[in-house]
Amino acid sequence: MAQGRPGSASPLWPAGSDSKLSICSRAFGPRFDRTPIFDLDFMRFTKMQGAGNDYVYVDCFQEPVPSDPAALARSIADRHFGVGGDGLILIRPSEQADARMQMFNADGSEAEMCGNGLRCVAKFVYDHGISRRDQLRLETKAGVLSVKVEAANGKVERVQVDMGEPILAAEKIPTTLPGDPVVNSPLTVAGQEFLATCVSMGNPHCVIYTDCADDNLVLGVGPQIETGPWFPARTNVEFIEVLSPTEVRQRTWERGSGETLACGTGASAVCVAGVLTGRTERRLTVHLLGGDLELFWNETDNHVYMTGPAVEVFSGDWPV
């Protein structure tokens, strides 16, 4: 027997009913508890991903701003007991831009910026009619950034983000590693010697070049660098294999989230680090576990431009 929906005539839901299904009946169907829960409210969410860097998005133009977004991030981003994702992003009204992005990592910590997340915010803002301009301004904790959307049949497929100027001053990244800028600075972790190049793209990054970015490095050394004494605000860590002067392979240990399939600010930092160390050129293709990003560090305005995909996966309701 088909299960009814609120507002439809069925054996469970009389016509005109506005009650909500219990979580048990929503998840497992009619052979489980079908008793309606009358006092349960739901928040609408959308799952989106950019090159595999996936977040749960809440449209705060339509939904109330969560009272405890850090706790919500920890629960909703859980890949076993929640929706699953690298974190939570709130799309909020802004007084100085088309929209404001507020993001939280999977551990509940608030982050300054996420390039892949920002591309998805741009897609949501355009596709859902918050603004239909192809040139958008989006507010982040790292500042207001300019975004250009590439749409087909009324839907955004790719987004170019002006990531702004890289920050190279050690105290502003922040890092206590020697050098200003910090380029090929010696770093010893777990008895291993590395050369670290540090860049902030509104959030801190430590770029490590290696011949083989294997699990021992990413999963073993990555978290030790993230929380090490050299980075008072913790850091994101990029492990890079150089394939050619215009092409690299990247794996990222992301601050507060662990390894992610992609990191847009990280790819931007890698583009800068490659030029600073003489390893790669200003135009760079970055291969990540979740897809490719195109980067360009413009010598004229000193800005880094990142282009990549943005995909809406599904929408649903979360109990609050």
Q: State the CATH number of the domain containing residue 51.
A: 3.10.310.10
Give the helix ranges, DSSP H, for the chain.
23-28, 69-76, 115-127, 215, 222-226, 264-276
**pLDDT < 70 stretches in the chain:** 1-40
Q: So what's the pLDDT on residue 2?
A: 40
To the question of whether residue 53 is assigned a binding role by annotation, the answer is yes
Query: 20 with 126, same domain?
Result: no
- Residue 264 labeled ligand binder: yes
Are residues 159 and 63 both part of a single domain? Answer: yes
Residues 82, 105 within the same domain? yes
**Is residue 153 part of an annotated ligand binding site?**
no
pLDDT for the residue numbered 39:
52
Q: Are residues 64 and 22 in the same domain?
A: no
Q: Are residues 48 and 34 in the same domain?
A: no
Query: pLDDT tens across 106-161, in order?
Result: 999 999 999 999 999 999 999 999 999 999 999 999 999 999 999 999 999 999 99
Under 8 Å between Cβ of 107 and 257:
yes
- Measured CA distances, 199 to 103, 177, 273 (Å): 20, 12, 7
Same domain? For 31 and 136 the reply is: no
Q: Are residues 22 and 47 in the same domain?
A: no
Domain count, the chain: 3
pLDDT score for 21: 36
**What residues contact residue 196 under an 8 Å CB cut-off, 6+ apart?**
177, 182, 184, 185, 186, 187, 206, 207, 208, 225
| CB environment 129-168: b (16+ within 10 A), e (fewer) | ebbeeeebbbbbebeebbbbbeeeeeebebbbbbbbbbbb
How many whole angstroms separate alpha carbon 237 and alpha carbon 227?
A: 10
Q: What are the structure tokens assigned to 263, written together?
A: 């990191």
Residue 60: active-site member = no
Phi, psi of 235 (to 5 degrees): -155, 160
Q: What is the pLDDT of residue 22?
A: 37
Q: Write down the catalytic residue from 114, 120, 198, 271.
A: 114
Which one of the listed residues 120, 198, 206, 263 is annotated catalytic? 263
Which has the closest alpha carbon to 25: 15, 11, 43? Answer: 11
- Within this chain, do residues 82 and 58 fall inside the same structural domain, yes or no? yes
Instruction: Verify that 121 and 14 share a domain, yes or no.
Output: no
Q: Which domain holds residue 66?
A: 43-164+311-319
Q: CA angle at residue 38 from 32 to 39, to 5 degrees?
A: 115
The answer to whether residues 6 and 80 belong to one domain is no
CA 96 to mean position of chain CA atoms: 22
C-alpha dihedral sign at 110, 291, 83, 119? positive
| Packing angle, helices 115-127 and 264-276, rounded to 10 | 130
198: which strand partners? Answer: 206
Q: 265 labelled as ligand-binding?
A: yes
Active site residue 114: yes
Which pLDDT score is estimated for 10?
A: 37
Q: Look at residue 76 in the predicted model and tell me its pLDDT.
A: 98
DSSP classification of residue 167: B
Which pLDDT does position 11 carry in this prediction? 36
Burial class (CB in 10 A: 0-12, 13-18, 19+), 258: middle
> Which bin fits 202, alpha (ψ -120 to 50), beta or left (φ > 0)?
left
Q: Are residues 248 and 264 in the same domain?
A: yes
Query: Do 83 and 194 belong to one domain?
Result: no
216 in a known ligand binding site = no
Among 78, 79, 81, 101, smallest CA distance to 90 is for 101
Classify residue 218 by its DSSP letter: I
Q: The tokens of 316 are what?
A: 């649903």
Would you say 184 is a known binding-site residue? Answer: no
Is 115 flagged in the annotation as binding?
Answer: yes
